[in-house]
């Protein structure tokens, strides 16, 4: 048996948009355009033995550059969770877009885990081309590069057990090394899709997101997620869907009330 975790989902930002700007070539789906909101989250898995962080949200500058709004400040979120951003800890980067590594430099001692393909792409000149670079901030890619130079980055290909009960899977599509995570909880296995699936309807209706590095890879990622759900994964957590918090038990007390939800309770199996 593997460790079990409490998995926490925290909303830190939001924006308003339109469906035609969110979905790739939206007109081919034969649906009318209309408003759609996009929420932004960070995620934490923890038990008595360890805490694993997933992504770090967008920075103040990265959000301002794209007119994104905070509903909670990132440092305040981690403080409310009792997490010291300056401490040694494991930080999974599902992919290196601005809204997922925007505060990387605020974790100077973290061991960063990222897919090798993701790291290689964003440290290459191809990642500087306009269609890709719009989704990043140069200072944040530099922070990732510094972490590599400091020996704090662990990479993987295909899959990695980052800790007992937590497995990372590279699926690609949205970005060259987009990763998802399987997390064991007392309420069944969670699949953190991150931006492999931004919205639940994205994979349900087979509608790829507008920003995609590899379209066949994104479709294949949808298929793999369906297989995982058919194979025993109980909970799917998408990367940006405003309905996410309504799908899971809400945090009702303290500074995260109304902007957070949890799945499972922490437990470590006896030796």
Give the pTM: 0.96
**Which class for 250: exposed (0-12), middle (13-18), buried (19 or more C-beta within 10 A)?**
middle
Name the β-bridge partners of 4. 267
Q: What is the dihedral of CA 239, 197, 206, 218, to 10 degrees?
A: 150
The answer to whether 97 and 175 have CB atoms below 8 angstroms apart is: yes
Per domain, the residue ranges of the chain are 6-263
Half-sphere exposure in the Cβ direction for 104 (13 Å, CA): 33
Contact partners, residue 155, CB within 8 Å, separation at least 6: 113, 114, 115, 116, 119
Please give the pLDDT value at position 267: 58
What pairing do the DSSP bridges indicate for beta strands 260-263 and 6-18?
antiparallel
Copy the structure tokens of residue 152. 């704090």
Closest CA to 174 of 70, 232, 99, 103: 99
CA–chain centroid gap for 154, Å, is 17
Name the β-bridge partners of 209. 23
Fold of domain 6-263: Metallo-beta-lactamase; Chain A (3.60.15)
Q: What is the DSSP letter of 5?
A: B
Residuewise pLDDT in 10s, the chain (271 residues) = 459 999 999 999 999 999 999 999 999 999 999 999 999 999 999 999 999 999 999 999 999 999 999 999 999 999 999 999 999 999 999 999 999 999 999 999 999 999 999 999 999 999 999 999 999 999 999 999 999 999 999 999 999 999 999 999 999 999 999 999 999 999 999 999 999 999 999 999 999 999 999 999 999 999 999 999 999 999 999 999 999 999 999 999 999 999 999 999 865 554 4
Name the β-bridge partners of 111. 90
Please give the pLDDT value at position 265: 84
């Amino acid at each position: 048996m593997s460790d079990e975790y409490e998995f926490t989902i925290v909303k830190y930002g939001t924006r308003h948009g339109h469906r035609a700007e969110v979905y790739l070539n939206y007109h081919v789906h034969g649906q009318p355009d209309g408003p759609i909101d996009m929420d932004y989250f960070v995620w934490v898995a923890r038990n008595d033995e360890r805490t694993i962080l997933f992504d770090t949200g967008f920075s103040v500058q990265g959000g301002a550059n794209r007119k994104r709004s905070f509903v909670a400040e990132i440092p305040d979120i981690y403080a409310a969770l009792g997490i010291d951003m300056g401490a040694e800890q494991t930080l999974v980067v599902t992919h290196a877009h601005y809204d997922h590594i925007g505060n990387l430099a605020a974790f100077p001692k973290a061991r960063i885990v990222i897919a090798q393909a993701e790291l290689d792409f964003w440290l290459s000149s191809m990642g500087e081309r306009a269609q890709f670079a719009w989704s990043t901030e140069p200072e944040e890619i530099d922070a990732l590069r510094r972490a590599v130079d400091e020996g704090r980055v662990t990479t993987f290909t295909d899959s990695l057990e980052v800790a007992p009960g937590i497995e990372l899977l590279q699926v690609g599509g949205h970005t060259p090394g987009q990763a998802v995570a399987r997390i064991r909880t007392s309420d069944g296995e969670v699949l953190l899709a991150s931006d492999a699936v931004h919205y639940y309807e994205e994979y349900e209706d087979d509608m790829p997101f507008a920003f995609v590095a590899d379209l066949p890879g994104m479709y294949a990622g949808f298929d793999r997620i369906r297989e995982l759900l058919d194979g025993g994964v109980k909970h799917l957590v998408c990367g940006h869907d405003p309905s996410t918090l309504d799908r899971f038990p809400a945090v009702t007390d303290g500074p995260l009330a109304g902007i957070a939800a949890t799945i499972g309770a922490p437990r470590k199996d006896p030796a």
